[in-house]
Chains A and B, each alone.
Chain A
Amino acid sequence: MAHHTKVPKKDNRTREEIIADWVHDQAAEQRKQRKARRLPDGEATVTINSLMDAMTIILVFLLMNYSADPLRIDSSEDLKLPASTTEINPEPSAAVTVTGKGIVVNDKLVVAVKEGTVDKAHKAGDETSLNIQPLFDALNEEATRQKEMARLSGAKFEGVLTVIADENTPYRLVTEVLYTAGQAEFQKFKFAALKGAQRGG
């Protein structure tokens, strides 16, 4: 509209002012035309480039965090980790998880747990035995695999096992798991715990 006002509105404008107004009108006209060309059917867009940048950075950051964690534990009703004051970070190793419902080795359930005990049918030997046979089989397989890998890479088999246990697991079951792991030649244990607890419970 301003474009068509070729006749000066006020005659007292200077030459420079007239030129400036004309340039301004031209620019406005061009913007209008461009806008009309880009959005033919009243389609609206938002400027999302900066948003995209931010999102991409967040995504990459989260993915890096996600993969850098050697020990990932999904807490649930049956697996609540105890809290500790420890400052030691977890390392990648074989892991055995003791929940209120079962014992899991490398994401595979090996034996069920009921009321904090393993059914004596799964024990090697009599009722007082500490050896949980299905757990031994699973850990032995894992140890054999690790030894083979250590042999091929020229490293030493460390026998490190991370024990992820629910905070209410009875001591007896913990020792049964440790004893069984010891039979499968795991010698060093790392108990997983949540960081940042206060001393003395």
Chain B
Amino acid sequence: MARKKKNIDDKIEDLNLVPIMNLVVCLIPIVLLGTSLVKIGVINVNAPKFGMGQAAPDDSEEKPLNLTVAVGEDGFRITASGADINQVLGLAPAAEPGADPAEPAAAGPLIAKQGENYDYVELYNKLVQIKEKFPEETIINLTADARIPFKVMINTMDSIRVRLDKDSYEDIEGFKAASVNYEGNTVKLLWPDVVFAVAQ
């Protein structure tokens, strides 16, 4: 009798999971393909201002530095308030009135490309120097020639937004290996407020 009862129990079959398995096996590759394995980040940029020489929006009474980095086909040029940055830093004499108009001082000294690559290291070194002189300023204008590719702008912004371990680097290897300078838990910033500008 007991044996018969057991037979009935045994007839309750397992759930047929094969169709569900088929479904799941198909779904997993689809979802895996859809999931981008690369992580995407963002860089915050303020609204562009158009035309050079305008004052950046600033509540302070003081005259803003209006620091501008221009990316050209041949390299970077840094200017502040429309003047050569070396003059602002006091490294070079003020432009003589009636100086050679073919080479306007307002263009700033060239941080030339190193071969095919832009010299981000020198740009960083220079911007740290300027930051030391103007510790309160955070706004930097970024402008470029019309044909400069977007990736150069991104690389430039990477180089100018945060402060690294050292204030200056000798070569690109050290610059690449450098880690971000932390103050407690927050990143020490260099020129974080990037504003896109266009020379018209």
Whether the pair A171, B153 counts as a contact (CB closer than 8 A) is yes
A63, B30: Cα distance in complex, Å: 11
CA of A69 to CA of B120, assembled, Å: 32
Tell me which of A10-18, A133-141, A174-182 binds B.
Answer: A174-182
Contact status B159-A199, CB under 8 Å: yes
Residues of B within 8 A of A (CB): 7, 10-11, 13, 17-18, 20-21, 24-25, 27-28, 31-32, 34-36, 38-48, 50, 71, 117-118, 120-121, 144-155, 157-159, 164, 172, 175-176, 178, 187, 196, 198, 200
**0/1 string, A37-61, CB within 8 A of B gives 1:** 1100000000011011001101100
Nearest opposing residue in chain B for A87, CB measure = B41
Given A62-B35, A83-B151, A170-B149: 12 more A-B contacts, CB < 8 Å: A52-B17, A52-B24, A55-B24, A59-B27, A82-B150, A165-B150, A189-B45, A190-B45, A199-B175, A200-B155, A200-B159, A201-B120
Docked CA distance A10–B177 (Å): 80
Residues of chain A within 8 A (CB-CB) of B150 are 82, 165-171, 174
Q: Separation in Å of the A92 CB from the closest CB of chain B?
A: 12
- Kindly list chain B residues whose C-beta atoms are within 8 Å of the C-beta of A89: 41-42
Partner of B39, one of A162, A167, A194: A194
- Are B10 and A62 interface neighbours, CB within 8 A? no
Task: Evaluate contact between B38 and A189: CB separation under 8 angstroms.
Answer: no
Q: With the chains together, A167 CA to B81 CA distance in Å?
A: 30
A84 to B25, CA, bound (A): 36
From B38, which residue of chain A is reached at the shortest CB distance? A194
Contact among B40, B121, B158, B176 with A73 in the assembled complex (CB-CB below 8 Å): B40
Q: Among A66, A116, A188, A200, point to the contact of B120 (Cβ < 8 A).
A: A200
Known: A56-B24, A82-B154, A84-B158. A72 touches B36 (CB 8 A): yes
Q: Is B36 in contact with A201, judged by CB distance below 8 angstroms?
A: no
Q: Can you give 19 contacting A-B residue pairs, CB < 8 Å?
A: A37-B10, A38-B10, A52-B24, A55-B28, A59-B31, A63-B31, A72-B36, A84-B158, A86-B43, A89-B42, A91-B42, A169-B150, A170-B149, A171-B71, A171-B144, A178-B45, A196-B39, A200-B155, A201-B120
Are A162 and B28 in contact, with the CB atoms below 8 A?
no
Q: Which residues of A contact B34 (CB under 8 A)?
A: 66
Given A179-B198, A193-B40: A62 and B47 interface contact (C-beta under 8 Å):
no
Interface, chain A (partner B; CB < 8 A):
34, 37-38, 48-49, 51-52, 55-56, 58-59, 62-63, 65-66, 69, 71-75, 81-91, 116, 128, 130, 162, 165-172, 174-175, 178-179, 182, 186-201
How many Å lie between the Cα of A191 and that of B41 in the bound state?
8
Q: Which residue of B lies closest to A93 (CB)?
A: B42
Identify which of B11, B35, B153 contacts A66 (C-beta below 8 A).
B35
The 8 Å CB contact of B41, one of A88, A165, A172, A179, is A88
- Chain A residues with Cβ below 8 Å from B144 are 171
The smallest C-beta distance from B197 to any residue of chain A, in angstroms, reads 8
Q: Is the CB of A175 within 8 A of B151?
A: no
Given the contacts A52-B24, A166-B150, A130 and B41 also touching, CB distance less than 8 Å? no
Do the beta carbons of B42 and A86 come within 8 Å of each other?
yes
A84 to B154, CA, bound (A): 7
Name B40's contact: one of A168, A192, A201 (CB within 8 Å). Answer: A192
- Are B40 and A195 in contact (CB-based, < 8 A)? yes
Do the beta carbons of B46 and A201 come within 8 Å of each other? Answer: no
> Which one of B24, B32, B40, B71 has the greatest number of beta carbons of chain A within 10 Å?
B40
CB-based contact A88/B148 at 8 Å: no
Q: Please measure, in the bound complex, the distance between the C-alpha atom of A63 and the C-alpha atom of B32, giving whole angstroms.
A: 9
